[in-house]
Amino acid sequence: MNRASQKAYCKSCRRETNHFVRYSQKHKLETLRVLQCAGCESISVGAYTDNPFEAGAEFLYEVPAPEPSLRLMPNTFRRWAFDNLFKKHEPLWELITETYSACDRGLKCLAIMGMRSVLEHTMINKNGADFGSFSKNLDAFVDNGHISTREKEHLRQALEAGHGATHRFYIPTAEDLTHIFDIAENILIKVYVHPL
């Protein structure tokens, strides 16, 4: 195990702490290092250069670590959607992938707005027409047998969250996002993957 260490700023501890150098590779004029905080054990990646005027290494920049995804597109839906939806409704497929991409990057407001748009386009697509408002499109979605009255209320919640993010600066929590995406995915799978 590598026992080399250096002082570096830890974002988790919010101060300069001792770090273990877990990996180091020289590249031209800089050295990339994977550091682990000796206190909280968080990992960071940074580029350093040897400063000829001072002892030690001078920090150049940090390489941001990817954040964990808030939500991934379900594999069964991804396979089906690419084979069927992409070929028939390419703009809707593109909107769905962009929505999940926003979610993957932790952009909760954009993800909720995107899913609202996906649901609106799904209702219009399946109803065969745009009835002019979300409420009328939702009523037609139920009247045409695509969802039940109970599912309508769940879908209304998802749409309202999207409206809130778009018009009222509503910032969803990760739990809200999960709840909305659960509703939306169930509707999309019911309507496109397993239609009645």
Q: How far is CA 179 from CA 66, 137, 172, 185, in A?
A: 23, 22, 10, 10
Whole-model pTM: value is 0.64
Residue at 70 is within a domain: no
Counted domains in the chain: 2
**Which CATH number goes with the domain that contains 148?**
1.20.120
Phi, psi of 23 (to 5 degrees): -155, 145
Residues 93 and 178 in one domain: yes
Residue whose C-alpha is closest to residue 31's, from 51, 12, 10, 15: 51
pLDDT in single tens digits along all 196 residues of the chain = 446 888 888 888 888 899 898 888 887 777 888 889 998 888 888 877 765 555 555 666 666 655 667 788 877 677 776 666 666 677 888 888 899 989 888 899 999 999 999 999 999 999 999 999 989 999 999 999 999 999 999 888 888 888 888 888 888 888 999 999 999 988 888 887 777 6
Instruction: State the angle between helix axes of 149-167 and 134-143 in degrees (0 to 180), rounded to the nearest 10.
Output: 160
Residues 92 and 153 in one domain: yes
Residues 39 and 111 in one domain: no
Residues 110 and 153 in one domain: yes
Residues 89 and 58 in one domain: no
